[in-house]
Amino acid sequence: MGRVVESFTNGGLTFDVTDTPPAGGTTPGGGQASDRTVIALHGFPEDRHSWDGVASALAGDGFRVLAPDQRGYSPGARPNAREAYTLNRLAGDVLALADAAGARRFHLAGHDWGAALAWYLAGRHPGRVISLACLSVPHPQAFLRSILAGPQALRSWYMGAFQVPWLPERVLARDGGAVLREMLTRSGLDPGSADRYAARAADPAAMTGPLNWYRALPLDLGGQRQPGPVTVPSLYIWGEEDSFISRAAAQLCSRYVTGGYRFEALGGASHWLLQSETARVAALLAEHFGQAG
């Protein structure tokens, strides 16, 4: 499998990683370990541990799973300027992790903001990505189209509010992160996970990096910064009870994938698929990665 990766560096920043090896340390059929590597990207306001349950299940199916704390979340990777959080910079972090792990090509998975980044990276660097699996958030162009000409704008009101400097950090920090906790539990996240993320929000300085993912959005709206159609085999999983992503936005996603594409709408599932639908998500990912690899 190569050396265990507990951290890596990129551009002077240091990122923490959970490296979950395949069960028994080998891959089924004697395949190359690098072809069974999955890089798993968390969203807002999560961290790498949101993937723990799914990673454990994928390891049982012979996959190595690398889950980093992303830019703005790892203590050693929290630049203050919003310009440091453009999709191109974020994609560079993922490629640096792959290089550190010795994975020339890899399967890529992402949830929420991690999904938006995964769509971007697969569109811009298809030679590095064997297959793609995105949870909750559709292709960025599908999302943008749904906001401009559909019902998505109302669900995404907070993205505009997060553009304001410093104030969102203070609001989310009130009462020990109670505002964020309420937002998360009302949208379907389990109380234990919500408590953990609320504890981070209680420190305004710890939230500037995560919020800067939103603040960098206007910098990524130019045509040269947007991903094109995704050509690698892609799986998109969306919960039918998602409070943040409309069905219209989810259904638009297929327009931006020219390779093999599968859409799975999970009945009764919220936005927080990694926590509430761990077994179903892990089974879908293992099947998708196995077929693509």
Looking at residue 25, what is its pLDDT?
A: 72
Q: What is the mean pLDDT of the chain?
A: 94
User: What is the pTM assigned to this prediction?
Assistant: 0.96
Instruction: Write a three-state SS string for the chain.
Output: CCCCCCEEEECCEEEEEEEECCHHHCCHHHCCHHHHEEEEECCCCCCHHHHHHHHHHHHHCCCEEEEECCCCCCCCCCCCCHHHHCHHHHHHHHHHHHHHCCCCCEEEEEECHHHHHHHHHHHHCCCCEEEEEEECCCCHHHHHHHHHCCCHHHHCHHHHHCCCCCHHHHHHHHHHHHHHHHHHHHCCCCHHHHHHHHHHHCCHHHHHHHHHHHHCHHHHCCHHHCCCCECCCEEEEEECCCCCCCHHHHHHHHHHECCCEEEEEECCCCCCHHHHCHHHHHHHHHHHHHHHC
Domains of the chain: 7-152+222-292 (3.40.50.1820)
* Per-residue confidence (pLDDT) for residue 218, from 0 to 100: 92
In the chain, the percentage of residues whose pLDDT exceeds 90 is: 90
pLDDT at 29 over 60: no
Q: What is the pLDDT of residue 224?
A: 61
pLDDT at 117: 98
Render pLDDT for 203-221 as a digit per residue (tens, 0 to 9): 999 999 999 999 999 999 8
Find tokens 């259904």 and name the residue.
251
pLDDT digits (tens, 9 = 90+) for 174-187: 999 999 999 999 99
Average pLDDT over residues 13-32: 77
- Please say if the pLDDT value at position 30 is more than 50: no
**In the structure, what pLDDT confidence band is assigned to residue 228 with cuts at 50, 70 and 90?**
confident
How far is 98 from 89, CA to CA, in rounded Å?
Answer: 15
pLDDT tens sequence across 109-155 = 999 999 999 999 999 999 999 999 999 999 999 999 999 887 899 99
Helices 167-186 and 204-215: angle between axes, nearest 10 degrees: 80
pLDDT digits (tens, 9 = 90+) for 50-107: 999 999 999 999 999 999 999 999 999 999 999 999 999 999 999 999 999 999 999 9
Given a contact cutoff of 8 angstroms between Cβ atoms, the answer to whether 216 and 140 are in contact is no
Confidence of residue 34 (pLDDT cuts 50, 70, 90): low
How far apart, in whole angstroms, are the C-alpha atoms of residue 171 and residue 162? 10
